[in-house]
Amino acid sequence: MSKYKIGLFGFGCVGQGLYKTLAENSLDAEIVKVCVKNKNKQRSIDNDRITYNPSDILNDDQINIVVELIDDPQAALDIVRKALKSRKAVVTANKKMVAENLDELIALQKEYETPLLYEGAVCGSIPIIRNLEDYYASEHISEIKGIFNGSSNYILTKLFQEGKSYEEALGEAQANGFAESDPTLDVGGFDPKFKLSIILQHAFGLRLHPDNIFNWGIQNITDSDIAFARERNLKIKLLAKAYYNGDSLSAVVAPHFIDSQNPLYHVENEFNCVLINGKFASNQTLIGKGAGSLPTGLAVLSDVVALTQGYAYRYRSSDHKVDTSELVEVYLSAKDIDAINWTAFDTISEKYVGNDYGYVIGKVALSELSSLLSNGSPDTNLVFTSGSQKEVEIPSLTYSYAS
């Protein structure tokens, strides 16, 4: 008999992979019950291990590890709460649930002295949380950034490498299982924002609710934006960034122009990349598949193994402040560029007005971006050209004129 009895919620790709792997493995852990929703689906497990009632797992005293792999963040939170209160260790891969409720989840872990692990929630197969907790525990990290969303990166790769339209590329990503049928979380920059919020806690000891992080996605990208980048030998990549700006921390999710000298330029398709800049290590780059059943499955399995070894996150705390007054340089494009609220800009360095496309490049406070975009025309697109952390210098344009 195994020492570790696992109750599993959800039996999708990742859940099935975990079940199979644990059955074949020599680990001292086995899945004894699986809670699913749909009674009419055929399952590849013995009927006596299946239940439709969460209490059959949550009230079962022999179960000491709960693995939560369902889609619904609210139901997931409910399960994780009850499991921790019953002192069952928990593994989850639900980034939205973790990011939005991390304060409560940390408090519950402390109160009930029961660990919650969620490596699978952040950048698939890249072991970022564990490394931040352990290996980089004594590092002075100055910046973490990267490509945290495989779906958007896949779409951007198709746009730039194969000249596909945004709709074509999105459809292809959906057909390949890299994007959900409602792609808003991915292409709108919400998914990488959840991940960034979790990373902020483990890298800097800073708790920042995702609602308080500015995010913009790739949903409004046009052929003109891509042409603008191509003419300058740039690509556009959706980046999540957290970095020191003086004594404060800045955090943002937005598309960025990237040149070929940047390691992120070469990260394509569904791959994710995390760049860490630290006092000792200098630049570190971690690249791996950011999503999918096997990469996420590896992260979940690794968390299960860690729980059997008594592992728990330490949650160092800090008194970091967040700064949103920082000026960032952005490229803003729209069909009718003159509809933009000019007063939001601190300075404008370039403006181009065409028949069906125009853009401005200028500096604006991070805190002004949300209202600037919500008051602009609905086709407005935004790409960062540089922040305090410069990614690329836009070469000045011969056809620009002073604003």
How far apart are CB 61 and a second copy at their closest, in Å? 27
Which segment (76-84, 121-129, 339-347, 349-357) binds a second copy by CB under 8 A?
121-129
**Other residues' Cβ atoms within 10 Å of the Cβ of residue 113:** 9
312 binds a second copy (CB under 8 A): no
How far apart are CB 190 and a second copy at their closest, in Å? 25
* Active-site residue flag, 110: no
Nearer to a second copy, 25 or 59 (CB): 25
Which of residues 71, 104, 134, 231 is near a second copy by CB under 8 A?
134
Q: Is the sign of the CA dihedral 105, 106, 110, 116 positive or negative?
A: positive
Q: Return the exposure string of 3-20: e unless at least 16 CB atoms fall within 10 Å of the residue's CB, then b.
A: ebbbbbbbbeebbbbbbe
**Other residues' Cβ atoms within 10 Å of the Cβ of residue 357:** 20
319 binds a second copy (CB under 8 A): no
**Between β-strands 358-365 and 345-353, what pairing exists: parallel, antiparallel or unpaired?**
antiparallel
Which of residues 127, 188, 210, 362 is near a second copy by CB under 8 A?
127
How far apart are CB 31 and a second copy at their closest, in Å? 14
Give CA angle at 152 (149, 155), nearest 5°. Answer: 145
131 binds a second copy (CB under 8 A): yes
Number of residues that bind a second copy (CB under 8 A): 37
CA gyration radius, the chain:
22
Which of residues 280, 355, 399, 401 is near a second copy by CB under 8 A?
280
Which segment (19-27, 152-160, 193-201, 390-398) binds a second copy by CB under 8 A?
19-27
Name the residue type at position 67.
Answer: V
Determine contact, residues 339/376, Cβ cutoff 8 Å.
Answer: yes
Which segment (65-73, 274-282, 319-327, 334-342) binds a second copy by CB under 8 A?
274-282
Which of residues 176, 285, 374, 375 is near a second copy by CB under 8 A?
285
Which of residues 13, 50, 106, 286 is near a second copy by CB under 8 A?
286
How far apart are CB 329 and a second copy at their closest, in Å? 27
Q: Return the exposure string of 313-341: e unless at least 16 CB atoms fall within 10 Å of the residue's CB, then b.
A: beeeeeebebbbebbbbbbbbbbebeebe
Query: For the window 135-164, what string marks contact with a second copy as x by the rule CB under 8 A?
Result: xxxxx-------------------------
Which segment (53-61, 81-89, 250-258, 283-291) binds a second copy by CB under 8 A?
283-291
3 binds a second copy (CB under 8 A): no
Place of tokens 């193994």: 305
Q: Is the sign of the CA dihedral 61, 64, 70, 75 positive or negative?
A: positive
Nearer to a second copy, 171 or 263 (CB): 263
Q: Which of 33, 95, 195, 351 is catalytic?
A: 195
Helix (H, G, I), strand (E, B) or coil at 242: strand
Write the DSSP symbol of residue 89.
Answer: E
367 binds a second copy (CB under 8 A): no
Within 8 A by CB and 6+ apart from 66, the residues are 6, 7, 8, 9, 57, 58, 79, 80, 83, 88, 89, 90, 91
Which of residues 13, 20, 21, 171 is near a second copy by CB under 8 A?
21
Nearer to a second copy, 300 or 382 (CB): 300
281 binds a second copy (CB under 8 A): yes
23 binds a second copy (CB under 8 A): no
233 binds a second copy (CB under 8 A): no
Pick out residues in 183-212 that bind a second copy (CB under 8 A): none
Count, residues in the chain: 403
Determine contact, residues 320/206, Cβ cutoff 8 Å.
Answer: yes
Q: Tell me phi and psi for residue 212, to 5 degrees.
A: -100, 15
Straight-line distance from the first to the last Cα atom of the chain, in angstroms, rounded to the nearest whole number: 75
Which segment (102-110, 129-137, 206-214, 371-379) binds a second copy by CB under 8 A?
129-137
Residues noted as catalytic: 195
Q: Which residues make up the interface to a second copy (CB under 8 A)?
A: 21, 25, 27, 119, 125-127, 130-131, 134-139, 263, 266, 278-289, 294-295, 297-298, 301-302, 305-306
